């Protein structure tokens, strides 16, 4: 039994999202095979999005696709709402729609690289999340470039240190630090300084020693399971947990209990019954 805090539907991996429809049954079958319930974000417009939409509308159509999948597969999927912080009015309207009016379809907020995560543009969104007890999955990565760690990042891509800044500014918001920060040494060094960031293990290679490092620095109560599926497989991400010397209680904490506690009643009632 797994609770995956970091998933994407097949349309995220397709140059032509309309080609993803045929892959959805296999995607759901993979979740069923490993008894996974996943929170999925569609970070670009999904299939059947109208031509010529303004960039401020892109999150709406991606969220609409996530909602469609959650309606069709309520026992396996629920959505992340994704918004563009550069358009505050539209972002807050989307949060109202998805996370208040459509609570049965959306569990939390996902932010990626439209602005740096510690940009003040994110503050109204974080205030909304604090007011309504909504967790946030923030993509983080630390790529080495010619000028050292972090200099190889994409434009506006969050580093663990930037997420630390945001978490300190908004201590009532609970965060999942996506991908462990990419380079987990930087991730755990940042996340252990506050108590409102949980390290999401999903994505990247199952590199030897990363889980041991995270367990030493954060402990099993501050780590949550994620896969980054469609881009990665369930077994490749489970393997890094099972390879560690964890007792049954700590194994459950990492694989589902921690995430279920953070998400609380944001999860569907049927899921909460399962994850109790």
Are 20 and 11 in contact by the 8 Å Cβ rule? The answer is yes
What whole-number distance in Å separates Cα of residue 222 and Cα of residue 210?
14
Cα gap 202→7, rounded to integer Å: 9
User: Would you say the pTM of this structure is higher than 0.75?
Assistant: yes
Range of the domain at 248: 2-274
Phi, psi of 197 (to 5 degrees): -125, 130
Question: Could you give the number of structural domains in the chain?
Answer: 1
Q: What is the CATH number of the domain that holds 248?
A: 3.20.20.140
Tens of pLDDT along the chain (276 residues)?
999 999 999 877 665 666 777 889 999 999 999 999 999 999 988 888 898 999 999 999 999 999 999 999 999 999 999 999 999 999 999 999 999 999 999 999 999 999 999 999 999 999 999 999 999 999 999 988 888 888 888 899 999 999 999 999 999 999 999 999 998 999 999 999 999 999 999 987 766 788 999 999 999 999 999 999 988 899 999 999 999 999 999 999 999 999 999 999 999 999 999 998
CA angle in degrees (0–180, nearest 5) for 71-90-104: 20
């Amino acid at each position: 039994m797994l609770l995956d805090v970091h998933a994407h539907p097949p349309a995220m991996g397709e140059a032509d999202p309309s080609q993803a429809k045929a892959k959805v049954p296999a995607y759901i079958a993979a979740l069923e095979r490993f008894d996974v319930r996943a929170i999925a974000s569609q970070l670009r417009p999904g299939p059947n999005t109208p031509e010529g939409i303004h960039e401020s509308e892109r999150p709406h159509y991606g969220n609409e696709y996530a909602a469609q999948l959650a309606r069709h597969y309520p026992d396996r999927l629920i959505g992340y709402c994704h918004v563009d912080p550069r358009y505050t009015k539209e972002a807050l309207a989307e949060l109202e729609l998805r996370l208040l009016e459509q609570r049965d379809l959306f569990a939390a907020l996902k932010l990626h690289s439209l602005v740096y995560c510690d940009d003040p543009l994110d503050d109204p969104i974080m205030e909304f999340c604090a007011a309504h007890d909504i967790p946030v999955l923030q993509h983080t990565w630390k790529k080495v470039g010619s000028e050292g760690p972090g200099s190889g990042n994409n434009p506006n891509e969050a580093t663990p240190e930037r997420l630390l800044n945001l978490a300190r500014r908004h201590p009532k918001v609970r965060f999942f630090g996506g991908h462990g920060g990419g380079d987990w040494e930087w991730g755990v060094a940042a996340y252990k300084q506050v108590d409102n960031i949980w390290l999401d293990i999903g994505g990247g290679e199952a590199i030897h020693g990363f889980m041991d490092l995270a367990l030493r620095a954060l402990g099993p109560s501050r780590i949550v399971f994620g896969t980054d599926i469609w881009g990665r497989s369930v077994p490749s991400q489970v393997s890094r947990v099972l390879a560690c010397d964890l007792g049954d209680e700590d194994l459950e904490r990492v694989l589902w209990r921690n995430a279920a506690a953070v998400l609380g009643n944001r999860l569907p009632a049927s899921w909460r019954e399962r994850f109790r």
